[in-house]
Structure 1
């Protein structure tokens, strides 16, 4: 008779209760220290960033993967979840912007040749590293090697893109166009519904059913995004903070940023000179990384293997990281700053960004096997 060997019961590998209490206490102490040093507002912003990271990693929700599944598998569920989340944010953000225009501002930017090209290139690059702006931060925080390698180059690219931004915008762009008020909200909601309808039409049967974790992500992310707008006075963004970190390093090393219209602007000069702990985007970026790391560790430890990749794959990750940062700055944002927050606060450029980046994603998906990042089918 052939013997069968039963599998041993799984041994828990996650941290113990004392470790969890200690880490949570440490995070709380860090937030409190920031609030005491920089002010309560900045402590709250770090908490919001931690919330974003915990939600994105905890619900395993993002922006790159759902687009990939829509293109390859005709699974529309993730894209639908994104659109619903934006609709909730817009429903609150539009009235807030209308009634508190002096204190709050939207993620508004002009449409131009460079913006469209930058969005297309960003869409391709984000599929190569399987992470947009927030996705790269979350992946790096959760222990994913590709995200960790891409992140510093993303930051360098963001700094460089900002340095050259005026040159790119001078190639030609329209004035900033933004929807506002009740009519603007109605147009935005109709537009989101139209995209959702198209996704359902093109999607496979059953992809309209959103799993429970998507609904959790929708509600938490929408709530945090609205809170961010109220506390920060501006919508959730990612890219500016990454470039700012590099700008600070350049200045600390004796570099001169006066040759850049962007970095020599008074507001940006002030941010470079000020503490990074008082920059809105930096704090939420730190929170994204920390929240994702905390959630991954809480589950089972920081381990997200990517397998053995050829040298050309790692070269592609580095190059894609640089391109992600540069193109997102030229395109006035990533999936968060342009798509999510742009459309959510009425910017016309957010819609154009979405179309261009989605088209770029189609290209990036087909580049991954060529670059050695996955087996060819």
Structure 2
């Protein structure tokens, strides 16, 4: 049986919706969001929400997280001018360097927050899903730091193409559970992780890696990732004569790095652009439906069945998008576009050879759109673009070698 959050008593009045604000007790972003979960998980999600609201209002919790992000993760991450690529394209590109955070991606921001929350709730184990492996590595890292156990579910296909991150997780002491059902990628890993959580509620916290899943996860993950956008907004104010970029661009699978980035700019003048994989374009071509406990936009067939996604980047191999992205699309506040695998590989190579930065293939989607948009005139000459480089490309070496052969 699937139950929406409306079946639970509302603990507070739903606030008036603001752009990227608190979605209220019902967890709604316009017509998206909510909590569509098995009965056994409704109370668990409510407990996570209550714990997060209390923690997020506690200055001591916020200070502890901020100290970890500064002393352990390496925040703030720098804003780097891509000088040579900018000169070639005729636009000014600023890269928000989440690839320089500890573990190599933005995932650690959210995981550190959720791991501290798990300790506060008295949990001793983290459960996570992972596609590209970066969220799994971040979860294993936080568990090792805080003395927790970690179990990470990963599709068998992703285990094959992300062998380096699988080794890193196991080196850090995490249990990596292969998922052999369905497409054997991120969607199925998420399903298995959520099923496993049902039987482990007493001692385990489900550490969702993206802005998907039942409320409060889309909101909570966005808030833990908000640090990206807030830092970038301040850095752009110092770096740009206008004080703000013309465009803010980030790759989108479920959409956590983009949500965190957009949160810092949603109330300003910048145009927000989310870049999806051509084969995994939930925001671009999805239809309203329910998957993994949330109502959002998903790739579906004519019978309403979820269809498989494809991307050369394992972290974007997801058939939908977080509910807040669906809402931003509905509002017209953010635009969502797609790029092909070929464009992604070309963008990764070009950034490497102009700036000495090898991006994760996920991040290369955002770079690919900027290259294309500058080339066809969609980006005006001289425009300023703030692009979140969500991760580094070490993990994708074998995929790139095969694609470039």
Length-normalised TM-score, structure 1: 0.27
Structure index of larger Rg = 1
Of Structure 1 and Structure 2, which has the larger fraction of its residues in strand?
2
Of Structure 1 and Structure 2, which has the larger fraction of its residues in helix?
1
Length-normalised TM-score, structure 2: 0.26
Q: Which protein has greater RCO, CA pairs closer than 8 Å, 6+ apart?
A: 1
